[in-house]
Structure 1
């Protein structure tokens, strides 16, 4: 467009805004209202009457009363995801109109949530305001920074001629340094960590929209968070490929859960006194028709993000109880099957009734079912529903196993409060226990505490004969791990148990060390 034409349009816009500025423009509102009623009836009349003052105010034509302005703008420092995408669209449009570039930077602050537990909501809001003020300090006037979540912030850079990887890394590093400076809050020094992910419009296709830039920055931030605190990641082709693959896996996982591809496999647990099978843990495995067996860490997180963990729990529980019933009919002695329960399942107010129905359906007793609850759940939960459910299941007769014991800092009071039956000692304490004196002392202390509290013990992650033998000598009640058997389908477990029983009938038993 020629410069003269552009300048004429600019002057015309200026004159139009000037002519509409001021409350006198509302003198035309009755005429507009009457015309709108004649054209479209009452609905159109109402829309025009309410919309005109707001549109004029948004364009700077009139100033609304401060109270009305507050209602319209809400909190100018906080926007939701929809607003963030709209802002990204605007930033991308302004940059392209100037033949320049922009970038979206997403930041996650670690340390704010801890303040809520210690000081309450008011202090947390002050901390958020402080982080936002710090974030805006090094930015230019045309850059924008807002909060988009409890601990998440967004920066949109104004149009720039050069936004390559090197310059963006410098910008993000500078932002991170400012955010991570010590903060004085309620008379104490607090240290926050900032993790950042960003995407420049340079790396986006010409047809990309603001949503694409925002989601690409979000994917980069997710990658940064997966790599530890204070990480910075840029949107790259590898992240793009991983994101596409993850989305494909997400769709497939949802289907697999309903079409029977996700199945319960079983890992046997051995009694150290008798050497016989004392139970089996049911573990989810995805049997993909093309990729084979997909490990749990590749799909459990996806199912949790999609809110499908309760459905997975139903599938595994039903299969496990069905197999236990089948083993009883076949004369295969498996005293108990244990099933992992997620936090979302434990929050279900109908959980106890559901389990009662499932146990009765397969003609079993509650004592045949073990409920595995992570120690982190026990240590951190304040949810009364979770406490009531676990207590009710224990009262029903189910065995409650505290999984990954030693990683969640559960107190002795918590062990009593949740009616724990058995401690599953985390594998980190078991590794090299037969060769590491410090590990041995730690295990001895755990076993001594469990004995005094009247709790059974199970060591998970046993990978060698030496570890198995020493744990038996120290008094650990049960063992489980790859050194004994890997998880396997139900039919293979039957074969394994028959072979195992035949071996222990012929071999000397692993005994405990006499006191």
Structure 2
């Protein structure tokens, strides 16, 4: 009996000690301070007001006050990141406090590694981690969890509402985006941030759930442009689930042949005849119909399937080209887009050569479209060698979205670019906007001096088409001419277009 009483007394004292030293005890600070003033005057008030928080800081079990752990490594793997998040969540739950997880993506580090080498990139990683640790509190934790990703876990605290977390995210971002100096020069990086506070999660969520929510918020931030900040919300859960469904569905679609290229014609402004077609991937969904590439290309990239997509588009394109030849439809060449991922493949040249030989097709009938940003960011290395190798093979190199990147004139020469594809932002309203017209004329003049052909994208009206012809643009492409279509429909369109051209020539000769 005595032992049971003793054990009960010990549990009672432990419970009282936990209650007294718990964070909710601070809620009684105003009342205790006032009582102290009534009983003992100003000195008692000061003693209570200062002494109670000090005692709490000294004796509290909460990890929000003491350092939650010893020194951390700079880089941790996924499992270790989840363990850290679990520790902080447990400490916060035991102390009835809140915590939060921030994930930061340094945008531009991969470009620095390509241009200036990984040593410079590593210096920037160290600088960014040091800057993060400089803006957080002593009991917060900051580590790197990838080549360009960082994680910050906040020590449990009394007040971590959305406004406070957003303020901290902005402070982190301002610090990270300050110019950073390395031996290779000054670098400017942007930082996207996704975060989640533990109070926004339902039920007894653990560290893995907190980290997953922060990852969903970061994905949303990255999808909304550079330097975006996003807080996790319940709606992101449904979006993330839908994205996972899309990811598995689009992989199956690629394997089943549901993703195929459609073809958009390009016209010569001098003759009006078809000068080529561009192959554009389309998903022929059995239930949803035609799914545009904006909805599935990112999913394929996340799944590491861009190389496979390139193979599918190339095979269908060369098959279509051979079919048009056999049907007597004159299509001089087909152009396909090659992403940065595909251009990094060491086997790219051999694969293209093998496909051309298999279809008995000269390389001159294959156009390779490369984004200007790829050329600007890859002056050396495997990407540069592949582009030069494709040009030497005989393929025509088109620089896509010209005017949106920073490719130099030297780069245009070194990569043996044949045509500039002028971005639609230079074409829109060119027939109504004088400043737009002057800008476009300057781009066309530069191409002419460099001996490069030009293709204007996004032509949507007869007036734009006519003005581009007058300004000396060599080729035009856009919805105002024809939308992308399957290979068989393009053959019908090409025959009808040839008849229109012939009829117009006959009218012209008859009038003369």
Whether TM exceeds 0.5 here: the answer is yes
Q: Decide whether the 8 Å contact of 2:104 with 2:193 is kept in 1.
A: yes
Question: What is the deviation of 1:137?
Answer: 4.5
- Alpha-carbon distance change, 6 to 273 in structure 1, aligned in 2, over 3 angstroms: farther
3-state SS of 1:432 partner: coil
Map 1:71-220 to 2 at 5 A. 76-109=73-106, 128-137=125-134, 139-177=136-174, 179=176, 193-206=190-203, 208-220=205-217
Q: Does 1:422 align with 2:419?
A: yes
SS at match of 1:154: strand
| TM alignment of 1:42-441, pairs within 5 A | 76-109=73-106, 128-137=125-134, 139-177=136-174, 179=176, 193-206=190-203, 208-441=205-438
State the SS of the aligned residue for 1:339: strand
Q: Is the 8 A contact 2:115 2:377 kept in 1?
A: no
Correspondence for 1:480: 477
| Matched residue, 1:461 | 458
Over 3 Å counting, the alpha-carbon distance change for 1:305 and 1:118 in structure 2 is closer
Report the RMSD for the aligned CA atoms in angstroms: 3.2
For residue 241 of structure 1, give the secondary structure of its aligned residue in structure 2. helix
Alpha carbons 2:456, 2:477 under 8 Å: kept: yes
Distance 1:76 1:385 in 2: 33
SS state of the match for residue 485, structure 1?
coil
State the Cα distance separating 1:439 from its structure 2 match. Answer: 2.4
Secondary structure in structure 2 of the residue aligned to 1:238 = helix
CA deviation profile, 1:387-414 (whole Å, cap 9, x unmatched): 2222222222221111111122222221
- Is the Cα–Cα contact under 8 Å of residues 263 and 484 in structure 2 kept in the other structure? yes
Match 1:497 to one of 484, 487, 494: 494
- In the other structure, the counterpart of 2:59 is none
1:3 and 1:261 map into 2 onto residues whose CA distance is 72
Task: Give, in angstroms, the shift of residue 215 of structure 1.
Answer: 1.8
Distance 1:200 1:211 in 2: 13
Maintained 8 Å contact 2:115/2:379? no
The TM-score normalised by the length of structure 2 is 0.79
Q: 1:92 to 1:430 in 2, by over 3 A?
A: same
Work out whether residues 369 and 400 of structure 2, in 8 Å CA contact, stay in contact via their aligned partners in 1: yes
State the aligned residue count. 448
Moved more, 222-231 or 257-266: 222-231
Q: Deviations over 1:460-514 (max 9, x none)?
A: 1111101111111222111100110011111211121122122222236999xxx
The answer to whether the 8 A contact 2:379-2:411 is kept is no
Kindly tell me: are residues 206 and 125 of structure 1, through their superposed partners in 2, closer, same or farther at Cα, counting changes over 3 Å? same
Q: Any idea what the Cα deviations from partners look like across 1:164-221, whole Å, max 9, x if unmatched?
A: 33343344344445555677888x9987654321112223243533222112101112
Corresponding residue number in structure 2 for 1:12 = none
The answer to whether residue 441 in structure 2 is matched with residue 444 in structure 1 is yes
Q: Which runs of 5+ in 2 are unaligned?
A: 1-6, 16-69
Shift of the 184–74 alpha-carbon distance from structure 1 to 2, 3 Å rule, reads same
Provide the C-alpha distance between the structure 2 equivalents of 1:178 and 1:399, rounded to a whole number of angstroms: 45
- Kindly state the Cα deviation for residue 2 of structure 1 after the two structures are TM-superposed: 6.5
CA 1:332–1:129 in 2, change beyond 3 Å: closer, same or farther?
A: closer
Question: SS at the partner of 1:159?
Answer: coil
CA-to-partner distance for each residue in 1:212-266, whole Å, 9 max, x for gaps?
Answer: 2112101112222333444332110222221111111111111111101101100
Q: Pick closer, same or farther for the CA change 1:2–1:146 going to 2, 3 Å.
A: farther
Q: Alpha carbons of 1:341 and 1:74: their partners in 2 closer, same or farther (altered >3 Å)? A: farther
Structure 1 position 305, deviation (Å): 2.2
Q: Distance in 2 between the 1:236 and 1:491 partners?
A: 46
1:506 aligned to 2:503? Answer: yes
Secondary structure at the counterpart of residue 507 of structure 1 = helix
Distance in structure 2 (CA, Å) of the matches to 1:400 and 1:76: 46
Question: The residue matched to 1:419 in structure 2 has which SS?
Answer: coil
Residue 357 of structure 1 aligns to a residue in which SS? helix
Partner secondary structure for residue 239 of structure 1: helix
Q: TM-score, normalised by structure 1?
A: 0.78
Quick one: distance in 1 between partners of 2:435 and 2:490?
Answer: 35
| In structure 1, distance between residues paired with 2:442 and 2:215 | 45
SS at match of 2:270: coil
Distance 1:112-1:308 versus aligned 2 partners, 3 A rule: closer
Structure 1 position 346, deviation (Å): 1.8
